Amino acid sequence: SRKVMQIKLAIMTHYDEQVIANIEKHVFAVRSEVLDIMRQVTETDLTSADFRSNLAESIRIAMNATLEEAEDFGGIEKVYFVEFIVQ
């Protein structure tokens, strides 16, 4: 069966507001990267004990890579799930 996953993210940065401005500036590219990662999740992945922390780290790496490509600096230190639904 196909599952649907819905998440809401919060990010942490100790850098200045420029990181947030860069995310807003490149929001479509950042969202696209997050969706690509989520699209690769399997039902087996969902049962792993480390699934959420691994997913958060994968998302952080992808978001930083997108920002580094566009702005030469990522700056996202941590990704948190503030909403996480799997149906």
Looking at residue 1, its pLDDT comes to 62
Looking at residue 2, its pLDDT comes to 82
Contacts of 18 (CB under 8 A, 6+ apart): 73, 75
Give the helix/strand (H/E) hosting 64: helix 51-71
Looking at residue 16, its pLDDT comes to 87
Mapped onto helix, strand or coil, the DSSP state of residue 22 is helix
Q: From the CB of residue 55, how many other CB atoms can be counted at a distance below 10 Å?
A: 23
Looking at residue 85, its pLDDT comes to 95
26-44 confidence digits (pLDDT tens): 999 999 999 999 999 999 9
What are the respective helix, strand and coil percentages of the chain, to the nearest 5? 55, 20, 25
Q: What is the DSSP letter of 15?
A: S
**Consecutive 10-residue averages of pLDDT for the chain (87 residues):** 90 94 97 96 94 98 98 97 95
